[in-house]
A = this chain, B = another copy of it.
């Protein structure tokens, strides 16, 4: 087309905007938002280079460090959890570096793919979906594939509802390779189940706002150990948007960001962090453990099969096998339309074979009870005998 052929694009015909429905949203993120935090988003915009912003950002950052259990600066970016995976990789590695990807599901595979897209040499230690990375076999395999510069791990695999024992895995990796960079995707675990970045000697840990933090999606948080910052100095993968140093400098000198941060999500996070401190870290972990146990027990009582190895079953998301004779699409639609209850389907190789119930962030036991009650009704309506 040349500029001579000027063509006007007309106003599109679209469906009218409908009110967003209030549902029992039981997917593993986005999670429901507490009313105080939701309301906080409506505060006026401010200058992200002004003192009001700096005061808020300092408070948020220090509190994030507490929940990460780290003395390292927690850096924040407008991004999704996948952005966290990329940010973790591009700041510490160089093309051709050998990394080991311990993958137990879809999001572990995604991080491995990112590493490959950036030209790393990736060795996958894959475990069947539904299982955790078994420490003894990890130890054996690591010795076989050495040397390697880093290990990519998923704390809680959102696609399968399995939580890796990161503390043990990190100890094994460190014993075998003291300089290894241990990269942990904690998107759907942090602030829900125990994770202690410094005590467990993890090097890069990242998470996303729409999970345990009880705020809308749009913010990614990431922290790097002194060992990771040392690696940063020689890491040659190309990067700019996700570069750490630019962000560190802005945060540490002014509690600001090099680019425009997602203000309304930060307003909400400022509120939820306060709520989380009031509830207490251990109490939050306990609540998630009770939630996991409740959902698993109810599912088993209904005669349903859980995907996850019971020893490693996640306390933030439960994956349930679709029972014989049940059409998953019909079941999810019926739940959504008739019961206002929303579960997630499966991903990748589990598409159509499982559904997932999220129980992280902002929920009450009544929300979970109602969700499983509705599941029970719908299953029976669909002829499930259990």
Contacts and interface: CB of A to CB of B under 8 A. Distances in A.
Interface of A: 1-3, 6-12, 14-15, 17-23, 25, 27, 29-33, 38-39, 41-50, 52, 55-56, 58-59, 62-63, 65-66, 68-71, 78-83, 85-86, 113-114, 117-119, 167, 170-171, 174, 196, 198-201, 208, 210, 216-219, 237-243, 258-265, 267, 270-271, 274, 277, 336, 342, 344-345
Given A25-B47, A59-B17, A270-B17, A238 B80 contact: no
Nearest to A118: B238
Given A14-B59, A46-B20, A117-B240, A2 B201 contact: yes
Given A39-B42, A218-B262, 6 more contacts: A1-B198, A30-B45, A41-B264, A48-B217, A50-B342, A78-B79
Nearest to A37: B42
A217 B55 CA distance: 19
A336 B54 CA distance: 15
A268 to B, nearest CB: 8
B200 A9 contact: no
A86 B8 contact: no
A14 B117 contact: no
Give 10 nearest A-B pairs by CB, closest first.
A218-B262, A20-B43, A12-B62, A80-B259, A216-B264, A82-B259, A30-B45, A14-B59, A218-B218, A41-B41
A174 B3 contact: yes
Contacts of A174: 2-3
A242 B271 CA distance: 30
Nearest to A216: B264
9 contacts: A17-B56, A20-B43, A23-B46, A29-B260, A32-B45, A80-B259, A117-B239, A216-B262, A262-B265
Most buried by B among A2, A17, A237, A270: A17
A336 B50 CA distance: 9
A42 B33 CA distance: 9
B66 A10 contact: yes
B240 A113 contact: yes
Contacts of A243: 117
Nearest to A26: B47
Given A29-B260, A66-B9, A80-B78, A240 B55 contact: no
A71 to B, nearest CB: 6
Given A20-B44, A20-B52, A78-B217, A7 B83 contact: no
A55 B7 contact: no
Given A12-B63, A30-B45, A44-B23, A201 B3 contact: yes
Contacts of A71: 9
Nearest to A67: B9
Nearest to A1: B201
B2 A21 contact: no
Contacts of A336: 50
A136 B318 CA distance: 64
Contacts of A11: 66, 277
A46 B30 contact: yes
A333 to B, nearest CB: 9
A157 B127 CA distance: 51
A51 to B, nearest CB: 8
Given A55-B15, A217-B261, A31 B9 contact: no
